Amino acid sequence: MKKRTLEYVVISDVHLGTVGCHALELLQYLNSIDPKVLILNGDFVDIWNFKKYYWPESHMIVLRTLLTMMANGTDIYYITGNHDEVLRKVSSLQLGPLFIRDKLILDVDGEKVWIFHGDIFDITMKHSKWIAKVGSHGYDLLILLNRAINNISVRMGRGKLSLSKKIKDSVKKAVRFIEDFEITAMDLAIDQGYDYVICGHIHQPKIRGYENEKGSVIYMNSGDWVENLTALEYDGKEWAMYKYKEEDYIAGERIEKLIRKNSVKDRVLIS
């Protein structure tokens, strides 16, 4: 597969180290692109829920793939989130083409772009972090249940469904929280003179315009690689939302086969 050349790619909420992470699909995507800059916008590694007994080979190969991308000329910015907030202690660190930051400001063709994870808007993070952590564990259990149900649903020919997405979409408080999150981010971006604001955190991929009495801004959220499998891409002309579709990849080639192939390449580059 020929790689697509891109200026910027933004990925958030991968949650490596958890059962909900779609590492295999992410690897297919990473192996299909050649970005000048890759921005990991928070919660890339889920340090909150990290367990020694759960770190599949596919998760390790994601890290190797990032090393390969850096060796091939891609700059990677790791923006800290709430699940990897321990990295905020070293948020000015640079190791060659790897940068760790709490936020990132870009000038893209003369327009100011403000990028940050977004957990600063979450009241549970500010005042009751333990509630957020308990909720995170419950979310993991829901993902496991969802996978079991989907296995049965697919065999019955009814396709896949997302329990957590249906629950969030049906709970008025959750819908209101997402709307408040977006408006808060957009109002702040306008106040500070940004043309674009890019967030993660709420696992809701979106591109929308917004205007208030002070000005206008474009809000973008890169979504996640737990439910939506999405990323933001800038090809040098415009921003677009990418969504993973298994049928877009090589027909008949299993993801695991591609991973084993790339695993050998990565080990050669690292050794």
- Report domain extents, the chain: 4-270
For residue 138, give the DSSP letter: H
Cα(193)–Cα(214) distance, integer angstroms: 10
Q: Percentage of residues in the chain with pLDDT exceeding 90?
A: 59
Q: What is the pTM of this model?
A: 0.77
Helix (H) or strand (E) holding 112: strand 111-116
In Å, how far are 14, 55, 170, 176, 239 from 200, measured between CA atoms?
Answer: 10, 23, 21, 17, 16
The chain-wide mean pLDDT, for the chain, equals: 82
Report pLDDT for 171: 42
Taking Cα atoms as reference points, which of 75, 77, 70, 69 lies closest to residue 100? Answer: 77
What is the CATH topology of the domain spanning 4-270? Purple Acid Phosphatase; chain A, domain 2 (3.60.21)
Cα(43)–Cα(46) distance, integer angstroms: 6
Its sign, for the CA torsion 153, 154, 158, 164, is: positive
Q: Assign 95 to helix, strand or coil.
A: strand
How do residues 90-143 score in pLDDT, each as one tens digit? 999 999 999 999 999 999 999 999 999 998 876 444 444 433 343 444 455 545
Q: Percentage of residues in the chain with pLDDT exceeding 70?
A: 70
For residue 229, give the DSSP letter: -
Residue corresponding to tokens 């979310």: 139
Report pLDDT for 53: 77
Helix (H) or strand (E) holding 10: strand 4-11
Cα(98)–Cα(96) distance, integer angstroms: 6
Q: Where are the alpha helices (DSSP H) in 4-128?
A: 23-30, 57-71, 123-127
CA dihedral 102, 52, 244, 42 (to 10 degrees): -10
